[in-house]
Structure 1
C-alpha cells in the first residue's frame, strides 16, 4: 500500500500545480447547473452531476497521459500495475470527492423537496465512474485530443439520448437519470436499485478496462527480473 499511496501523492501534487485547470474544472459543473436552474429542477441536478463527470473524466484523462512518461522508470523501480493504476485512481477519487462536496451543498441549500441522500449517491457514483473512465481513454487513445473528443461525444449523447431507450444503458452515466428520478420525483425504489446497479457495474467494468489496457500498452517485460531487497 505504501507504493500506492506514493503514486497517489505524486498524482495529487501534479494536479495541484495546474491551478488554472483546477479552477476550470471547479467551475464547469456550476455552468451546467445554472443553465437549467431557472425552470427545470430535475435537469439542473442531473446536469450538475454530468458536469462533475465531465470535469473529473477530463482530469483523469490528462493525469493518465501525463503519467506515461514516468511509468517505465517506476516499473524499473519495482512498481507494479496495481500500484500505478491504484494510486492514480485513489488520487482522482480524492479530487472527485473534494470537487463534488460544494456542489452537493449547493443542491442541499438551493433545492427543496428532494431526497438529498440519493443526490449524494449520484455524485459518489459519478466520481467512482469518471476516474476510471478518463484513465481508460488515456490508456487506449494515443493522444489527449482524441480522448477529449470522445468525452465530448459521450456527455453530449448522455444529454440527448432518450434515457428510456435500451441503448442509453450502455452509456456510463445512465444511472444519473434513474437515481435522479427517484430523488426528484419521489418514485418507487426500483429506480434507485437500477441506478445503483448500473453505476456499480460501470465503475467495475471501467476499472477492469483500465487495468487490461495498461497491461497491453506496457507489453511483456520477460527480460526483466525484480530481485527483492534484503
Structure 2
C-alpha cells in the first residue's frame, strides 16, 4: 500500500503545482452550470455533472501523459505495473472529490429546496469514479494529448446531445450520473437511482480492468532496455 500512496502523492503534487490547470478545471464545470442556470434547474445540474466529468477526465489524461517518461525509471526502482496505474487512479479520485466540494456547496446554496442533495452528491461521486479511469485509458491508448482531448470532447458532446432515455445512451460512460441526477432533481422513482448506481459501478469496474490490461502490457514491454546483438 505504501507504494500506491507514493504514486498517488506524486500525481497530486504534479497536478496541484500547476495552479493554472486547476483554475481551468474549476472553470469548466462552473461554466457548464451557469450557462444553463437561467432555464430548468435539472438542466443546469446535469450540465454541471458533465463539466465535472470533463474536468476529471482531462486531468487524468494529462497526468497519464506526463508520467509516461517517468514510468520506466519507476519500474527499474521496483514498482510493479499495478502500483503505477492504481496509485495514479487513487490520486485522481482524491483530486476529483476535492474538486466536487465547491460545486456541491454551490448546488446547496443555489438550487431549490426540493432537490435531493444526497442524489446530487451521489451523481458527482459517480462522475469522479468513472472519469478517472476513463481519462487514464484514453491517455494510455492515445499517447498524444491533442487526440485524447478531442476524443474526450467528442464523448462529452455526445453525452450532452443524446437522448438519455434511448438505448444507445446506456453505452455512454457517464449515463449513470444523468440517471442519478434525474432522480435527485425530478424526484422520480428509486429505479433511476438503482439503474444509475449499477451502471456507474459496472462502467467503473470495466474501465479499471481495461486500464489494468493496457498498462500491464505496455509497461512489461520494457522499452527502456536495449539488447546488444551477440557477436
Superposition map of 1:86-125 within 5 A: 86-112=86-112, 113-125=114-126
- Corresponding residue of 1:228: none
1:153 aligned onto 2:154:
yes
Distance in 1 separating the partners of 2:7 and 2:177: 30
The 5-angstrom pairing of residues 145-184 of structure 1 reads 145-184=146-185
1:80 is matched with: 80
Establish whether residue 12 from structure 1 lines up as the match of residue 42 from structure 2. Answer: no
**Separation in 2, partners of 1:105, 1:16:** 21
In structure 2, the gaps of 5 or more residues are 226-231
Q: CA deviation at 1:220?
A: 4.3
Deviation for aligned residue 1:218? 2.1
- Residue number in structure 2 paired with 1:200: 201
Q: Deviations over 1:70-89 (max 9, x none)?
A: 10110111101111111101
Q: Secondary structure at the match of 1:165?
A: coil
Contact 2:54–2:156 under 8 Å retained in 1? yes
After TM superposition, list the pairs within 5 Å mapping 1:19-98 onto structure 2.
19-98=19-98
2:36 alignment partner, SS class: helix
Shift, 1:178, TM fit: 1.1
Which deviates further from its counterpart, 130-139 or 11-20? 11-20
1: distance between equivalents of 2:65 and 2:162?
Answer: 30
Equivalent in the alignment of 1:141: 142
Q: Is the CA contact (8 Å cut-off) linking 2:61 and 2:136 kept in structure 1?
A: yes
User: Following the alignment from structure 1 to structure 2, what is the Cα–Cα distance between the partners of residues 114 and 90?
Assistant: 30
Q: Could you tell me how far apart the structure 2 residues matched to 1:117 and 1:192 are?
A: 11
Aligned residue in 1 for 2:213: 212
Is 2:180–2:197's contact at 8 Å kept on the other side of the alignment?
yes
Contact 2:81–2:219 at 8 Å: present in 1 too?
A: no
Query: For 1:125-155, what per-residue CA distance to the aligned partner results, in whole angstroms no more than 9, with x for missing partners?
Result: 1111110000000111121111101100000
Q: How far apart are residue 13 of structure 1 and its match?
A: 1.0
SS in 2 for 1:37: coil
Q: Give the 4+ runs in structure 1 shifted more than 3 A.
A: none
Cα distance between partner residues in 2 of 1:100 and 1:161: 24
Number of equivalences: 222
C-alpha contact (below 8 Å) 2:140/2:214 kept by paired residues? yes
8 Å Cα contact 2:61-2:135 kept in structure 1: yes
